[in-house]
């Protein structure tokens, strides 16, 4: 449905996006994931028409939209800041785009009626944004995108202003809504949990370039680079230098056992369901080599306690130096 081919964007001498290529299928939820400053929001703005690529092309359903204005692209967008008009009621905020395009009033009402129940705003249509919670404001922004009936919806970190509990609830709501409506979505986030739990596919970015594009399970189980291995998963994968390569092992795959590699406990960080144990595997007289171990339940290890650790060979990952 959408085809992005080698788009690049520079600000002076700084290359923010470098030959980015990916595609989105009809009804697919694709996440652009990466650390702050990796170019994901700039990429979304180029797709939306808010920025113009210095090179490359963007096609929507076979039509080249690279140089079209945002209005000509007919895409919907949900912003981090909600972007609601404070003086307008919820109903008018939702319908603003349809009113601007002079959609007939009967059609406006039909679309409004169909969306308010979907997003749970039926009792709030006559309120103004200042009377709503953060989650309700985000629902208004979502409703405005849905009534546009655009071919593609772009979302730029829409949950980052919400508290953790509300973020979890809205994640579930957005994903369920997207699947029910068959919407095609590009979702920008720096939060790997959001991307892993919501997306059909993830475009992982680093320094303006694609690091890896894959389904969430493949990014976790088969990372192609150390960056992917350590960005996906919490705590990140342990990387241990081993001869002519780097050995990767996830904290949840390390067991504290009676026999194995000697290690010394440095600290225990209790999380409730499990404890993150920090251990040194360097041995005496060497620089520290730290590994994290996800231990089920409440670990009661003493600081400086000597233990042994082991893991199954099939859980090892190998990366070149």
Per-residue model confidence as pLDDT tens digits over 119-171: 888 888 999 989 988 888 888 888 888 888 888 999 998 888 778 887 888 88
193-244 per-position pLDDT tens digit = 999 999 999 999 999 999 999 999 999 999 999 999 999 999 999 999 888 8
Range from 14-18, 110-114, 295-299 carrying the lowest mean pLDDT:
110-114
Q: How far is CA 308 from each of CA 17, 304, 305, rounded to the nearest angstrom?
A: 45, 13, 10
For all residues of the chain together, what is the average pLDDT? Answer: 91
What letter does residue 252 receive in the DSSP assignment?
Answer: G
Alpha-carbon distance of 145 to 78, in angstroms, equals 7
30-61 per-position pLDDT tens digit = 999 999 999 999 999 999 999 999 999 999 99
Alpha-carbon distance of 34 to 211, in angstroms, equals 9
Query: Taking residues 116-120, what's their average pLDDT?
Result: 80
CATH number belonging to the domain at 2-226, selected among 2.40.70.10, 3.40.50.300, 3.40.190.10, 3.30.70.270: 3.40.50.300
128-141 per-position pLDDT tens digit = 989 988 888 888 88
- What tokens appear for 68 in the block? 């079209």
Query: How long, in residues, is the chain?
Result: 321
Range from 79-83, 119-123, 216-220, 288-292 carrying the lowest mean pLDDT:
79-83
How many other β-carbons are positioned within 10 Å of the β-carbon of residue 179? 12
What is the per-residue pLDDT for 23? 97
Cβ neighbours of residue 251 closer than 8 Å, sequence gap 6 or more: 235, 237, 238, 276, 291, 292, 293, 294
Each domain of the chain, given as residue ranges in start order, spans 2-226, 235-320
Q: What is the pTM of this model?
A: 0.88
What is the per-residue pLDDT for 285? 56
- Of the pLDDT bands very low, low, confident and very high (cuts 50, 70, 90), residue 81 is confident
With pLDDT > 90 as the criterion, what percentage of the chain qualifies? 63
What is the per-residue pLDDT for 286? 67
What letter does residue 67 receive in the DSSP assignment?
Answer: T
- Of the pLDDT bands very low, low, confident and very high (cuts 50, 70, 90), residue 71 is confident
Range from 114-128, 251-265, 299-313 carrying the lowest mean pLDDT:
114-128
Q: How far is CA 175 from each of CA 134, 143, 236, 265, rounded to the nearest angstrom?
A: 18, 14, 25, 41
Whether 2-226 and 235-320 share one fold: the answer is no
pLDDT at residue 66 greater than cutoff 90:
yes
How many other β-carbons are positioned within 10 Å of the β-carbon of residue 105? 11
pLDDT at residue 80 greater than cutoff 80:
no
235-320 folds as: OB fold (Dihydrolipoamide Acetyltransferase, E2P) (2.40.50)
Query: Taking residues 89-98, what's their average pLDDT?
Result: 90
Whose CA is closest to 295, among 284, 285, 305, 282?
Answer: 305
What is the per-residue pLDDT for 284? 63
199 vs 84, more confident: 199
What is the per-residue pLDDT for 100? 85
């Amino acid at each position: 449905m959408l085809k992005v081919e080698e788009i690049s964007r520079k600000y002076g001498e700084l290359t923010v996006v470098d030959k980015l290529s990916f595609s989105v299928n009809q009804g697919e939820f694709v996440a652009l994931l990466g650390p702050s400053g990796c170019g994901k929001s700039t990429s979304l703005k180029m797709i939306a028409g808010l920025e113009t690529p210095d090179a490359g092309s963007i096609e929507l359903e076979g039509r080249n939209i690279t140089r079209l204005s945002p209005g000509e692209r007919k895409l919907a967008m949900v912003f981090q800041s909600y972007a609601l008009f404070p003086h307008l009621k919820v109903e008018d905020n939702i319908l603003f785009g349809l009113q601007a395009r002079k959609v007939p009033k009967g059609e406006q009402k039909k679309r409004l009626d169909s969306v308010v129940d979907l997003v749970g705003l039926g009792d709030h249509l006559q309120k103004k944004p200042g009377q709503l919670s953060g989650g309700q404001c985000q629902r208004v922004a979502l409703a405005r995108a849905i009534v546009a009936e655009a071919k593609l919806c772009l979302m730029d970190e829409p949950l980052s202003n919400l508290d953790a509990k509300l973020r979890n609830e809205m994640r579930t709501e957005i994903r369920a809504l997207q699947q029910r409506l068959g919407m095609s979505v590009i979702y920008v986030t720096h939060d790997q949990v959001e991307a892993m739990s919501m997306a059909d596919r993830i475009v992982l970015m680093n320094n303006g370039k694609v690091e890896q594009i894959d389904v969430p399970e493949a990014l976790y189980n088969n990372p192609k680079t150390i960056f992917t291995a350590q960005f996906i998963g919490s705590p990140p994968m342990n990387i241990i230098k081993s001869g002519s390569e780097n050995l990767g092992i996830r904290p949840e795959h390390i067991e504290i056992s009676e026999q194995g590699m000697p290690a010394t406990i440095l600290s225990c960080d209790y999380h409730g369901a499990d404890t993150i144990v920090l251990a040194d595997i360097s041995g005496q007289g060497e620089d520290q080599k730290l590994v994290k171990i996800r231990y089920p339940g409440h670990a009661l290890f003493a600081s400086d306690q000597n233990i042994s650790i082991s893991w199954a060979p099939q859980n090892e990952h190998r990366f070149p130096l």
